[in-house]
Amino acid sequence: MFLDVLRRRNPALIEASIKLHQEGKIPPNTYVIDLDTVESNTRLFRAEADKYDLKSFAMTKQVGRNSGFCKAVMRGGIHRNVAVDLDCAIACNKAGLKTGHLGHLVQIPRHQAVFAARHIQPDFWTIFSREKAQEASRASKIAGRVQDLLARIQTNGDIFYRGHEGGFRADDIVCVAEQLDVLEGGRFAGVTSFPALLFDAETGTIKPTPNLATLEKAANALVKAGYTNIEINAPGTTSLVMLQALASAGATQCEPGNGLHGSTPLHAL
């Protein structure tokens, strides 16, 4: 998918990879990352995100288990990660890239919640249910913290990847916020959904999904109920060209992942 564009834009990466492999300096099943490009892309992204007051969390995925990648991201100006799971968060934290968002793609297992609260200390922790909210809050209380919680929301018509479904009913968000605010060790901070943006193969552009409108509607309901400073986390196919659209929809947080190493669908065009 990306070989043609890689040959056009960064042939030196291919040449270096071949040389290292032929010299036996890297084994099979090794991925090679151009850290200079990661740093440059991160710097460009951070500058654009700052224009719209968007918090930037690097979606490090599995490459975040490589400390060199994390350090390149930090040199580029992003100093928080969003972790796919707890293992990814641990690896990023060891590299110095602290966790801004935990629990969205993979909920934190009950028996690891105290470890996450005590040692990872995420800025935001996403929960899909009241039960998971209680676990996160209880763990945070044990760790001596008050944890900002993001409620994963959904409604009819929203789009999810298989296995990523779930969350609170969007229409119940005010009630959900009130329930989270009474938990010891936790407090309601905002809402999230995924994916908020997707690539449209027919037009060759990235478009908002119904999920983004669901987030915007939920935020409006919270404002009417008296809530302020609501965080709206809106990840999915996040690239520099879509930041203005995210901000216009009310998003306060963005999570560049493939955009940092140049492998979003737009990069393949």
- Residue-wise pLDDT for 103-152, tens only, equals 998 999 999 999 999 999 999 999 999 999 999 999 999 999 999 999 99
- Residue 166 banded pLDDT, cuts 50, 70, 90: very high
Separation of alpha carbons 123 and 101, rounded Å: 6
Please report the DSSP string for 147-209 in residue order. EEEEEEEE-TT----TT----EEGGGHHHHHHHHHTSTTEEEEEEE-S-SEEEETTTTEEEE-
Q: What is the pLDDT of residues 171-200, one digit of tens each?
A: 999 999 999 999 999 999 999 999 999 988
Q: What pLDDT was estimated at residue 29?
A: 86
Mean pLDDT over the full length of the chain:
94
pLDDT digits (tens, 9 = 90+) for 3-24: 888 898 899 999 999 999 999 9
Helix or strand (DSSP H, E) at 141: helix 130-142
Supply the pLDDT for residue 202.
Answer: 86
Give yes or no for a contact between 92 and 74, defined as CB atoms under 8 angstroms apart.
Answer: no
Q: Where in the chain is the domain with CATH 3.20.20.10?
A: 35-268
Mean pLDDT of 86-106: 96
Least confident stretch, 47-51, 59-63, 88-92: 59-63
Give the pLDDT confidence score for residue 200 in this predicted structure: 87
Which range among 53-57, 226-230, 263-267 shows the weakest confidence by mean pLDDT? 263-267
Domain 35-268: give its CATH code: 3.20.20.10
Query: Which residues are CB-neighbours of 175 under 8 A, at least 6 positions away?
Result: none
Distance (Å, whole) CA 191 – CA 251: 10
Other C-beta atoms closer than 10 Å to the C-beta of 34 total 18
What is the Cα–Cα distance from 178 to 268, expressed in whole angstroms?
44
Packing angle, helices 130-142 and 173-181, rounded to 10: 20
| Section 237-263 average pLDDT | 91
CA distance 159 to 150: 19
Query: Over 90: is that where the pLDDT of 154 sits?
Result: yes
Per-residue pLDDT at 267 exceeds 80: no
pTM: 0.94
Q: What pLDDT is recorded for position 185? A: 98
The C-alpha atoms of residue 250 and residue 245 are separated, in whole angstroms, by 9
